[in-house]
Amino acid sequence: MTEIPASESTSGPTSGPATDVPVAFQDSGYRAAVVDLLGAIAYGEISAFERLAEDAKLSPTLADKLALGKMATIQFNHVEPLIARIADLGSEPMEAMAPFVKPFDAFHAKTAPSNWLEGLAKAYVGDGLASDFYREVAAFLDADTRNLIVTSLADSGHASFVVERVREAIAADGRVAGPLALWGRRLMGEALSQAQRVVAERDSLAALLAGGVDRPGLDLVALGRMFNRLTENHANRMAELGLAS
């Protein structure tokens, strides 16, 4: 395992690899929180991979199966850099992911799609929501961690595939729109409920949002604004699919 220098990163265009650790990590609480966050994102991507691969079975055509398989694979490919960084920070990646297995599995168990369109909508809406949330949190972190997270959330490039397929289905039979709109609301509700449980159980993550050494934080007003942005983006994605939110 790589040893972590306690000094500030000598950042700049010619500086070394991402194993440099910036000043914020002098706060051991911050380090624990970042490990928690990276563990959550990594396991989130593993479980998204599993569910997308599972939902690919519902595909009406081979081309659809291929598209969903591709989304699953892209999610999975994000995992390795995240767990490498966790190891660089001196933690055991499997242990770092462990606390998040139950909430993510619970989310997926409670939102198992019963048909292809529900699976597609979940991939689009769920992935978008998770990305938005991690991006919001990443804004409060050191630059290396932020860059790693933003890269790991890079769009799978298949959003347009999902939008097209769902819009086609609604155009072909308008009756699918009502149940899908309800489904979107349920996804949002379950995601918030699991996220709340995670933050309540992991003090480190709550502290992360409050700020710390060399880092800004969020007060309750800012937290409320962040929540508004998340729900607004969710509504935009539902509208993009041609659905009420």
Residues near its own copies, by CB under 8 A:
43, 46, 49-50, 53-54, 56-57, 61-63, 65-66, 69-70, 72-73, 76-77, 79, 83, 94, 97-98, 101
Report the DSSP beta bridge partners of residue 212: 215
- Looking at the Cβ atoms of 45 and 132, the one nearer to its own copies is 45
The nearest distance, CB 41 to its own copies, in angstroms, is 14
Buried b (16+ CB within 10 A) or exposed e, 86-117: bebbebebeebbeebeebbeebbeebebeebb
d(CA 205, CA 7): 24
The nearest distance, CB 76 to its own copies, in angstroms, is 5
DSSP alpha helices (H): ranges in the chain? Answer: 28-55, 62-77, 79-88, 93-97, 101-110, 116-138, 143-152, 159-172, 177-201, 203-210, 220-240
d(CA 127, CA 133): 10
The nearest distance, CB 10 to its own copies, in angstroms, is 32
- Looking at the Cβ atoms of 46 and 125, the one nearer to its own copies is 46
- Looking at the Cβ atoms of 66 and 200, the one nearer to its own copies is 66
SS3 annotation, 43-75: HHHHHHHHHHHHHHHHCCCHHHHHHHHHHHHHH
d(CA 219, CA 207): 11
The nearest distance, CB 101 to its own copies, in angstroms, is 7
The nearest distance, CB 98 to its own copies, in angstroms, is 7
State the DSSP code for 85.
Answer: H
The nearest distance, CB 66 to its own copies, in angstroms, is 7
